[in-house]
Amino acid sequence: MCRSIKTLRPPVLPEEATEEEIRAAALQYVRKVSGFRAPAAHNREVFDRAVEAVAAATAELLGSLEVRGAAQRAG
Please state the domain extents for the chain. Answer: 19-63
State pLDDT tens for residues 20-61. 999 999 999 999 999 999 999 999 999 999 999 999 999 999
Q: Give pTM, 2 decimals.
A: 0.81
Residue type at 33 in one-letter notation: V
Answer whether 51's CB lies under 8 Å from 26's CB.
yes
35: helix, coil or strand?
Answer: coil
Helices 44-64 and 19-34: angle between axes, nearest 10 degrees:
130
